[in-house]
Every structure is written in C-alpha cells, then in structure tokens.
Amino acid sequence: MGIQIDALKCIACMACELVCGYHRDDAFALLSSCIVPYRGREKKNYVGVILKEEDSLVAARPEGVEINRIGEEQDPEKEADASAKPMLLRESCDLCDDMEDGPLCIAFCPTGAISMT
Ligand code: SF4
Ligand code: SF4
C-alpha cells in the first residue's frame, strides 16, 4: 500500500503540501511536508510532485513516475528536482496512519491526482 500520484492531473495548488505539513507539525509548516509539488522552470505548464518514502524518493512527472532509491547514485537531472527542497532530510510518508479517514493529501487534492495503490 502506498501513495500514487498522477502528475498529469496536478495543478500545483499546493494543498497536499500544506495538509501534509499540518499532519506532521500541527501547523502549516511546508518544510515538514513529505510531498512537494513543483513547477518546471523550462517548460510551460509542467508540474511534478516529489514524495519522500521510507527508502525512496518518488518523482511523479508528466512523462511518468520514477522511483529513486535513497543512497543509490542518482541521475543528475533527477537530483535537480529533488534538490529544489531538501527532501532527503524530511520524514517519510506514513500514509497518515494516525488519521481515521486516511491520507490527508488524498482528501484535499482537488483534482484526484493522488490515490492509494
Ligand atoms: S499520506 Fe499523509 S504523510 Fe503521506 S504524503 Fe499524504 S499527507 Fe503526507
Ligand atoms: S493537491 Fe493535488 S493538484 Fe494540488 S499540488 Fe497536490 S497533487 Fe497537485
């Protein structure tokens, strides 16, 4: 069981980042969030989402999802996304295991871009 992200549905509204930070810190602390949407600098309307999991960084991009195992050598282009924010230092997604109604990011995503696998 895990989080699945369809970057093609993402509009970079940042709701998932906000609610995840809230889940982590009981405040809107973006730096505590383990999910981070970002806009591409080069391409117009290019949106990706990075998720920190226990053993990996998941990069959901319009062209597909890439799972980068933490500790393994990264493609420089993939690292460029992840280094936009210090994702490796963040806590891993716990699937909101203390929330009765399940993951907050899924509940608050307005486009259905996030789901459970
Ligand atoms: S499931 Fe919970 S902990 Fe995981 S990314 Fe979503 S809000 Fe954050
Ligand atoms: S809440 Fe959904 S649409 Fe908004 S940034 Fe996150 S994944 Fe994208």
List, for residues 17-53, the tens digit of each pLDDT value. 999 999 988 888 888 899 999 998 888 889 999 999 9
How far apart are the CA of 108 and the centre of ligand 2, in A? Answer: 8
Alpha helices in 26-92 (DSSP H): 76-82
Q: Which protein residue has the closest C-alpha to ligand 1 atom 6?
A: 105
Q: How confident is the model at residue 82 (pLDDT cuts 50, 70, 90)?
A: very low
Please state, in angstroms and rounded to a whole number, the distance separating the CA atoms of residues 44 and 49: 16
Ligand at shortest distance from the CA of 60: 2
Where residue 77 falls among pLDDT bands split at 50, 70, 90? Answer: low
Contact indicator for 81, 38 with CB cutoff of 8 Å: yes
pLDDT greater at residue 77 or residue 32? 32
Structure confidence by residue, pLDDT tens digits, 4-13: 999 999 999 9
Residue among 114, 89, 102, 117 at smallest CA distance from 17: 114
3-class state of residue 87 by DSSP? helix
**Nearest ligand to the C-alpha of residue 109?**
2
| Model confidence at 72: pLDDT above 90 | no
Expressed in angstroms and rounded, the spacing between residue 10 Cα and the centre of ligand 2 is 5
Per-residue DSSP letter, 82: H
Task: Of 50-54, 78-82, 109-113, give the lowest mean pLDDT range.
Answer: 78-82
Structure token pair of residue 62: 């319009």
DSSP letters for 48-63:
EEEEE-SSEEEEEETT
Average pLDDT, the chain: 88
Beta strands at 35-39 and 3-5: parallel, antiparallel or unpaired = unpaired
Q: Residue 16 above 70 pLDDT?
A: yes
